Amino acid sequence: MIVNACTGVPIATTVEPAFDSATRRRGLLGRDGLSRHHAIVIAPTNAIHTWFMRFAIDVVFAARDGTVVGLRRALRPWRIAVALRAFCAIELAAGSIDLDAIAIGDRLRVTAAE
């Protein structure tokens, strides 16, 4: 689970890691959507693309210590997003950034699901 340590709000209760080249390349390809509170964490990376995807996503870029360094809301298919200081990209359902009030400078932490 990923929790916003600044607000205490869980932003993802299901976390799917994409830490090797095969899972990073596959990402969300072939899916029709991403459910609320489901996240894919792509690391290490400071850039993602949505080529060949079928739906928009929110992207939270975080530094190695979990600090949010970039946000992209409703990134549509066939786009690229970059955050130079990021260590990872967290892909969420479109609208999640605003619904969970995620802001630049927030600190995210990974915890065991409760």
pLDDT reported for residue 78: 96
User: What is residue 113's predicted lDDT score, i.e. its pLDDT?
Assistant: 62
Residues 90, 25: Cα–Cα separation, whole Å: 14
Question: How confident is the model at residue 25, as a pLDDT?
Answer: 73
CATH code, 76: 2.60.120.1140
Pairwise CA distance, residues 60 & 57, whole Å: 10
State the pLDDT at residue 114. Answer: 59
Domain hosting 55: range is: 2-110
Per the structure, how many domains does the chain have? 1
pLDDT tens-place values along the chain, 114 residues long: 999 999 999 999 999 999 988 887 777 777 888 999 999 999 999 999 999 999 999 999 999 999 999 999 999 999 999 999 999 999 999 999 999 999 999 999 998 765
